[in-house]
Each structure stands twice: as structure tokens, then as C-alpha cells.
Amino acid sequence: MSNATRPVLSFLVRITREPRGRLSGTVERVRTGRKERFRDAAAIGGVIERMLQDDHRELAAGSRRGKESS
């Protein structure tokens, strides 16, 4: 599959620097509006990964339901 045919996945990351310098904020999955907080810059990737895994699970469950009703 070429990059031209792959869907674009959009995330909005809002970051705040706390008084002690630590970063925190939220990651929002644009398509679903789902938001998840993080409390460390290193956690941003993990939040996005979980959202993608949830999307994959939902798609797989939907395709299984479609086969059951056929």
C-alpha cells in the first residue's frame, strides 16, 4: 500500500509545563474525540499507541460481528 492510499491518523497534543519543569497534558484522537491525560513527555507515545490498539480492536470486533450476521 502506498502512502497516498493510507488513511491519515490525526492526534492533537496539548502540553503544559508544570512549575517544576515537568510536562503534562492530553492527547486527543481527532476522529473520535477521545482524550487521555499524560504526566510525562515520555508517556505521549504510549498514549497514542493505546489509542491505535483500541481502534484496531474495535475494527476487528466490527468485522467479526459483520461475519456473524451474514
pLDDT along the chain (70 residues), means of 10: 73 95 95 94 95 84 61
pTM of the model: 0.73
pLDDT of residue 67: 56
Note down the domain range covering 13.
Answer: 3-68
What's the structural domain count of the chain?
A: 1
- Residue among 7, 3, 13, 55 nearest 32 (CA): 55
pLDDT of residue 64: 63
- Residue among 20, 25, 19 nearest 43 (CA): 25
The DSSP symbol for 50 reads: H
Residue whose cell numbers read 467479526: 64
Phi, psi of 69 (to 5 degrees): -85, -5
pLDDT of residue 47: 96
